[in-house]
Amino acid sequence: MNQKTGFTLIELLAVVMIIAILTAAALPQYRRAIQRTQATEALTNLRTMFDSAMRYRAANSENPTTAKGLDVNFFEAQHNTNLGYTDIGFFRYRFSDDGIKSCLLEGNSDNTFCISMNYKSVTKYGNEYGPGTIFCQNLSGYEKFNYVCNYLGTEVTGSSGLYVIE
């Protein structure tokens, strides 16, 4: 008796198909977890920068232009003093007279979402928000960015893609 042992081609194809189906089901959840992690990191960095910027403003009577002048350091931060921004990880932090804005560096500037904090009170869609209120805004209209902003906060009534982070 000459009996061969092993798997048939059909059995191997069935296993490969099962693995492909499981991967296809898990990949979107994995991507969302990555997006949530990146957004949470940006939010933490933004809060740290904002607190430090408030101390800088109190000591120097002016707004910081990049994170370089702040009393905190960030690993792998790249400062561009002339253009007023600092890149940390996947996000670009812009400094202005109004506050600090952190935008995801993905594609062009219209294909992203931003998290921002203002130095002064602001009115958006008829609602008054105090200094230090954090906003997440989907600039692209892509559902994946609405998901991230919704994960971080609550949508402002009457807005399209603007969320307040509590």
pLDDT, the chain, mean: 86
- The verdict on residue 42 lying in a domain is yes
Cα–Cα distance for residue pair 163/138, rounded to 1 Å: 9
Residue-level pLDDT at 54: 92
More confident position, 108 or 76: 76
Total number of domains in the chain? 1
Mean pLDDT of 27-48: 88
The tally of CA atoms less than 13 A away on the side-chain side of residue 93 is 30
Quick check: 34 pLDDT over 90? no
- The verdict on residue 75 lying in a domain is yes
pLDDT band at 111 (very low <50, low <70, confident <90, very high): low
- The verdict on residue 3 lying in a domain is no
CA distances from 34 to 40, 66, 147 (A): 10, 27, 12
Residue-level pLDDT at 84: 77
- The verdict on residue 2 lying in a domain is no
- The verdict on residue 4 lying in a domain is no
Residue-level pLDDT at 67: 83
Cα–Cα distance for residue pair 111/143, rounded to 1 Å: 11
Cα–Cα distance for residue pair 153/143, rounded to 1 Å: 15
- The verdict on residue 71 lying in a domain is yes
Rounded (10°) CA dihedral 149, 108, 31, 33: -40
Mean pLDDT of 51-58: 92
- The verdict on residue 45 lying in a domain is yes
pLDDT tens per residue across span 148-166? 888 888 888 877 778 898 7
- The verdict on residue 134 lying in a domain is yes
Quick check: 110 pLDDT over 80? no
Structural domain for 78, as ranges: 9-165
Percent residues over pLDDT 90 in the chain: 28
pLDDT tens per residue across span 118-141? 999 988 888 899 999 999 988 777
Backbone angles phi, psi at 148, to 5 degrees: -65, -50
